Each structure stands twice: as C-alpha cells, then as structure tokens.
Structure 1
Amino acid sequence: MTTEKSSNGKCFVYVGLAGETAPGRVIASGLYRMAKGDDRWDLLGNGLPGSPAIRAIAIHPERSNTVFVGTQDGPYRTEDHGDHWEKVNVPDHGLPVWSLLFHPRDPNVMFAGYESSEIYRSDDGGERWQQLPVSVRFPEVTVGPGANLAKRVLQIAGVPANTDELYGAIEVGGIIRTLDGGEHWEQLSHGQYVNDDPVDMHGVLASTFRPGSVLGIGRAGMFRSTDKGDHWARVQLDPLNEKGQTYCRQIREVPGDPKTIWVAAGANFMSDHGVLFRSRDGGVSWDRVDTGFQPNSTLFGLAFNERHPSDMYCASNNGQVWGSSDSGETWTDHPLPEGARQVYSMACG
C-alpha cells in the first residue's frame, strides 16, 4: 500500500502473537493484518525474524503506512502497511521489545521498552536510538542488579503538554517516572509492596483530560494518582477473581475524546472470560461494558483508529477479535485463523 491510499482512509488492524519469556512458558508467534471491511487475516512475515513474537505494535500517528513492531530480536519497521519489514538499528543487547510509543506531542520522538527494564529513545522518528539510564530501586523489588529483578517495560506513557514527562509500567516493578526526558527516573511505588500483586503493572496512562492524573493497571487492578504519581489510591472495579481483584491488561484513551478511557481485563492472566471497562470522566468512575459477546479468555488487546476514533477493536488472549464502528455500542466478530492464540498486542490505523 502507499501513503496516498492510506490518506484516502484505508484502515488495517494488526494483531501480534507472543507469550511470556520465563523458562518453560510457551511462546506463540505471528503477526496478522486485516483490512477493515475485508474480514480476511493475512499472516505477515517478509523481513521479520523467524517465528516473530510480537509484543508491541505502534502505528505512526501521521503516516499510517509506517508501523513499528517489537519482536524477540528488537524493533522492526514497515513503510507499506506490513508488506515488507526491516530491522531498526537500535544498539540494544538483542533483548525482546515489550512496548513502543510515539510521543503524543511529537511523533519524531519514540521510545522502546525492553526486557530487563531497559528503555531506548529516538528523536528522529526511529533512525537513531540511545539507551536511557533507567536505574531505580524500592524495597524488595529493583530494576538494578541483584534481588528480585524487575522484568519488562510493558507500557510507556507520554504527556502531550510536556515531552520530558514520561511514565513506565514495569512488570513486577511498579510505575516509574521521569521529568527530564529520561535522564533521571523515580520509582513511584514506594509503600505499595506487600507481595508482587500491587507492583505487577501492565499499563500506565497520563490523562490528557485531567492534567496530573495518572492511571496504572496491573495484576491487582487499577490505581489512580492526581499528583503525577506522588500518591496513589485504588480504583474500584468489579472484582473478577477469588482475591476480589481484577486483572487489567490494556488501557487506552479514545483519540480526540480524552475523557473516555477503556480498559481490557479478565479474572487472571489465563482466565476463561474477559471484560471491558469504560470511564466517561477521565478515569474517576468506571462501568463494566455490556458488549453483547462472551470472550472465552482474558482480553489482552485494545486499539483505536486515530483517524476515525469511533472504530475500535479488542481481542482475547485466545484469538477472538471483535470490532466496533460506533464507539463500542455494537460489535462484529473477526476471529483469527484457527490455532492463532496468545494475543499480546494490537493496533489499528
């Protein structure tokens, strides 16, 4: 596809398969693409590493033909909606990429979050990268050497008004923050550590609608701060498991409508049902959404079309995909091909 066709409204949905990198865990692979209105999933691979484990997908906010994906061998890029791929030249250590971000204020500024809690930054749209000095500690869990090594950067969030203010969600590591573009980082989860649950964070969102408000999601549910992460309070969601908690996996703000936020969730990491939650007031109050469909596993994927935000998609870990063209009021089923399981990433544009 070309940029011209992209600007004429062609929309693609991308779904990546992956898995945990802990010893003994099964890792699925594959990157699928569906054109809106087509209902056929194409398996992409031209230029990607063999059996690509796709844990992150980011579509350029101004050029939807340009897409970055995070693989077990670093990030890859396409300029033609995924027909061809090339490896991005990041001076990393060959670790898996778990998160990618185009900064909401400046799409030339990009971030890649890695295994072992490494973060890389590019200021020229992904051509040149430098590693940021992420080294923060708090009691019992650390991203520094020794002790319980915090694992992965599962999401990075930027603040539209300030390119220097960033947040990271660390698996078994809590939420971290920088106010100087990544030169110095602070651990924001002091006082939360009782066991791994409240610091096993899967996502973070800095509210556009409520400046200073930050939402963190993870194994133990959702936490909210009104002072840029200095203090946190638990957000009440419908409890879905025996601990009285809700396993939250993805959080997204609706493009152009920042007061509306969605969360993909379930009972546990490998549960037999999934749910969507929605806030219409910038994350203060939340309702469970009656979607009309019944996921058979935890929802892992959530994506919006930046150019047409009423188009949204969600996906369960077991390969079920649903799409909505009316902001989530009604949904259509778009299941992945037979055997495509372990959805870890999703994007639309």
Structure 2
Amino acid sequence: MGRASGRVLATKGSASRSASWGWGPAVRGEPMNQQCLVGWGPAVPGELTNRRSAMVNPSGLTHVYVGAAARIPGALGGIFRQTVGSDHWELLGKGLPERADVQAIIIHPTDPNVIFAGSQDGPYRSRDRGASWEKLPFPDSGLEVWSILIHPRDPQTMYLGTSPVAVYRSDNGGDSWRKLPGVNSPGRVKMGFPCRVTRLAIDPTYPDEIYAGLEVDGVLRSRDRGETWEDVGHDLVKLAERPHLKSRIASDTENEGMLDSHALTVSSAQPGTVFLAVRMGLFRSADRGKTWEDMEIGRFSPLTYARDVQVSPHDSRTLVAALSPAARSKDGSLYRSDDLGQTWRRIDHGIKAESTMMAVSLHPRDPDQVYSVARQGQVFGTRDGGRSWKEWRLPEKVQDIYAVACG
C-alpha cells in the first residue's frame, strides 16, 4: 500500500536579509539555456536535437522537490513538493513505496510534468509533477538508486547509478533498462555499507564521455556511452598521501576521505575538466581524470566537507558548491565561483543551516531561483537572485535529505 498522495504540510518560512548576487551572462559563443537542461547542467549549443524540444511550461508554475530517506527508526522519508509562491509542502506518495528512501530526483529537460526519482526500490516516474508515480521496469531487484542522469542531447537516453555499484542505461526514456558491463568498484575501501554511484555526469562537449562518482571508491570514466569503464581515481589516492588529506572513519585506510565521492560535474567552458566534491574538499581534473588537483576551498571557506557541486545552466563558468564541516554536522553553507573554481565567495547570507548542507539546485530557466537542502529538514531558497533568502522547515521526523530539484 502506498501513502496517500498530496498530504499538505504547513511550514514556517522566514525571510532573511539581503545578499545581492545576480548570475552573469553566459560565456561568449554559448547561448543562455532556454531548453531547461537536465537538473542544472551546463548549457551548450546543440544540447537538444531539435527546436521542437524547447521547454514549454503552459502553467508557468515552478515546483521544488525534495527527496529524503527514512533510515533512522521513526524518521520520515519520501518526496516533498512545494509550489513556488506557497509556504506549504506536500508529501507525495501515490504509487511510491510505503516507506520510501529517495536519494535522487531529476526533472525531464523538455517536459516539467515528468519527474524521475531513485529509491531503495528502484526507479520511479511521475507524469503529473509528482501527484502519482509508476515503478519503472528494471532488470534487477534489491538495488538502491542513488543517481539519475538524462543525456543532454537526447533526453530518451538515460543513465542510472545504484548501490551496490552498477550503472544502467535506458534508450527509451526509462521504459526499459540495460545493465552496462564493466562497472566495478576498484575495491580500495571497505566500508560498513555497499559502495554506491552517488553521481553521474556527461561532458557536454564530448557527450559520449560519462563520469561516475563512487562513495566510497573514487571515480570511474566511460568514453563510449557506458559500454566500457576505467578507474580514474589513482591520483586521488596519491593526493591522500598528503597529511591534511588523510582521513579514515570507517575503514582501515587513510585514502578513505579522498575516495569519498559525493558529486561531480563537467562544464562546457572547460571541456575535459571534471570538478569533484569529496569529503576532503573540492578537486579538479583538467585531463579527464588522469590527474587531480586540490582546488583549496579552505582558502575561502572555513567549511571544507563538500557534498555537492553544480555548474550554472546560465553561465558555464559559474560553479556552486554545498559545504559543511562533516557528514553529520550542525552547519553548512553555499559558495559560488564565477571563474571555474579559481575563487569562491559565500552566497547564502542571512540563513543558518543547522545540519549538513547536502545538495543545491539551480533553476534551469530562471537564474534568480536557487534552492538548497540541509540534511535534517531545512530547505533554503532565493527567488530574487540572492537579494533575500528564505527558509522552510519540513516535519521534524525528516532526518536524512539527499536530493533537491526545481523546475
């Protein structure tokens, strides 16, 4: 039995003081994103296959979706939805598991009515902005879905990452899936939970190249649409030899912190360059993962535990990162770079995260809208380009937020 759909949860929203930061223009020769690219990926010419694919949103409404897990006894998981302009959250449940652990949410790039979610029971799809859900046919059972990616040029092609480690591809918009060969965890770190694919990313300039971030085992790369894979985490292990980059919590190796991959992304402004968020900070590879360098986020932020990093869909030189002290903490913040990570500044002024900042979502059509989530139930957002921020709280039983999407 699924939960009743559309239960309204009243929440308190609090406006915060001003903090001005508008998005800059797109890089020269790169049009502003008018096609609502997947999630908040970079905009490049030819992202979609034809003009007919341009975003159509007749209602003009924006919704914010938050995914949470219920792994702690008594906790509340599932998918929460808010319509922009309202302070109410709905707990969506029609068609979802009774107890849903939702680690991934993504909105279709050309039809915002269609949403995909990754759960402990496989992938789900909604065709009505979350009011109802259908479980998608999936070849294997017992897998948690941790990441979902839609191809930037062909939205019929999708990729999905799981725990234990595996990657699946759909060539028909999620109607069927095939497990891709050769996706294996290198086995460098043994944790108390199975290794998982926490993020998938495509290089928009070389769209056959896919990267998979593993928690906890580094990064994998495919150069042929996922048919073959290789380990590109060797240099992360070398970096872990530096004293300040050693970290061990639940394994027998001090490589653990550098291989604790949470998010990765690629910008069209710097083809072949991968940006990676791990426990020890933000890192960059300018050679498709062969070597990695520390972006030294500690020069700009007292918080260095990196949980998310995203490229702005409105300016491919702009990155936004979610930073905190640790996986379980009482603080968190958002930082922005306008120069592909050379410098950073805090942008979420006037609000206070009371737990780890887990994820950020940049609106694909409206550069003034940015949303982020803290692990234990706080949702933050700006709808005026950062001049003011607002906080909404989900019910107290929400203790493990993993995902946020808007569109």
Normalization by structure 1: what TM-score?
0.90
Distance 1:137 1:126, change over 3 A: closer
- Give aligned-pair identity as a percent: 38
Q: Which residue of 1 aligns with 2:69?
A: 18
Q: 1:49 aligns with which of 97, 103, 109?
A: 97
Is the partner of 2:336 in helix, strand or coil? Answer: strand
Is the partner of 1:322 in helix, strand or coil? Answer: strand
Report whether the alignment pairs 1:283 with 2:345. Answer: no
- Give the Cα separation in 1 of the matches to 2:382 and 2:86: 14
Q: Which has the higher strand share?
A: 1
- Give the Cα separation in 1 of the matches to 2:168 and 2:113: 23
- Give the Cα separation in 2 of the matches to 1:58 and 1:262: 18
- Give the Cα separation in 2 of the matches to 1:197 and 1:252: 20
Offset of residue 327 of structure 1: 3.1
Contact 1:167 1:178 (C-alpha < 8 Å) held by counterparts: yes
Contact 1:267 1:298 (C-alpha < 8 Å) held by counterparts: yes
Deviations 1:180-233 (A, max 9, x none): 011111111114334200001001111122111111111111110111111110
Report whether the alignment pairs 1:212 with 2:260. Answer: no
Offset of residue 83 of structure 1: 0.6
Q: Which residue of 2 aligns with 1:69?
A: 117
Q: 2:281 aligns with which of 215, 221, 227?
A: 221
Mean Cα displacement is larger for which, 133-142 or 4-13?
A: 133-142
Contact 2:351 2:390 (C-alpha < 8 Å) held by counterparts: no
Offset of residue 66 of structure 1: 0.1
Q: Tell me the C-alpha RMSD between the 2 structures.
A: 2.5
Q: Which residue of 1 aligns with 2:29?
A: none
Max radius of gyration: which structure? 2
- Give the Cα separation in 1 of the matches to 2:103 and 2:389: 25
Offset of residue 37 of structure 1: 0.2
Report whether the alignment pairs 1:250 with 2:308. Answer: yes
Q: Which residue of 1 aligns with 2:82?
A: 34
- Give the Cα separation in 2 of the matches to 1:276 and 1:222: 13
Q: 1:119 aligns with which of 154, 162, 167?
A: 167
Q: Which residue of 2 aligns with 1:188?
A: 232
- Give the Cα separation in 2 of the matches to 1:32 and 1:149: 26
Q: Which residue of 2 aligns with 1:269?
A: 327
Distance 1:191 1:231, change over 3 A: closer
Offset of residue 148 of structure 1: 9.4
Report the AA paired with residue 260 of structure 1.
Answer: T
Contact 1:19 1:26 (C-alpha < 8 Å) held by counterparts: yes
Report the AA paired with residue 130 of structure 1.
Answer: R
Is the partner of 1:257 in helix, strand or coil? Answer: coil
- Give the Cα separation in 1 of the matches to 2:128 and 2:402: 22
Is the partner of 1:43 in helix, strand or coil? Answer: strand
Residue ranges of structure 1 left out of the alignment (5+ in a row): none
Contact 2:105 2:405 (C-alpha < 8 Å) held by counterparts: yes
- Give the Cα separation in 2 of the matches to 1:137 and 1:65: 35
Contact 2:279 2:305 (C-alpha < 8 Å) held by counterparts: yes
Contact 1:19 1:344 (C-alpha < 8 Å) held by counterparts: no
> Which structure has more RCO (C-alpha within 8 Å, separation ≥ 6)?
2
- Give the Cα separation in 1 of the matches to 2:337 and 2:189: 31
- Give the Cα separation in 2 of the matches to 1:123 and 1:317: 33
- Give the Cα separation in 2 of the matches to 1:55 and 1:287: 28
Normalization by structure 2: what TM-score?
0.78
Q: 1:160 aligns with which of 204, 212, 226?
A: 204
Deviations 1:88-129 (A, max 9, x none): 111122211001111222211111110011111111111121
Contact 2:170 2:177 (C-alpha < 8 Å) held by counterparts: yes
- Give the Cα separation in 1 of the matches to 2:298 and 2:287: 25
Mean Cα displacement is larger for which, 246-255 or 72-81?
A: 246-255
Is the partner of 1:127 in helix, strand or coil? Answer: coil
Report the AA paired with residue 284 of structure 2.
Answer: R
Question: Between Structure 1 and Structure 2, how many residues are aligned?
Answer: 338
Contact 1:220 1:245 (C-alpha < 8 Å) held by counterparts: no
Q: 1:80 aligns with which of 115, 123, 128?
A: 128
- Give the Cα separation in 1 of the matches to 2:82 and 2:336: 25
Contact 1:156 1:168 (C-alpha < 8 Å) held by counterparts: yes
Contact 1:150 1:170 (C-alpha < 8 Å) held by counterparts: no
Mean Cα displacement is larger for which, 183-192 or 38-47?
A: 183-192
Q: Which residue of 1 aligns with 2:290?
A: 230
- Give the Cα separation in 1 of the matches to 2:207 and 2:289: 17
Q: Which residue of 2 aligns with 1:170?
A: 214
- Give the Cα separation in 1 of the matches to 2:200 and 2:75: 23
Contact 1:303 1:312 (C-alpha < 8 Å) held by counterparts: yes
Q: Which residue of 2 aligns with 1:133?
A: 181
Is the partner of 2:258 in helix, strand or coil? Answer: helix
Q: Which residue of 1 aligns with 2:147?
A: 99
Offset of residue 19 of structure 1: 5.9
Contact 1:299 1:315 (C-alpha < 8 Å) held by counterparts: yes
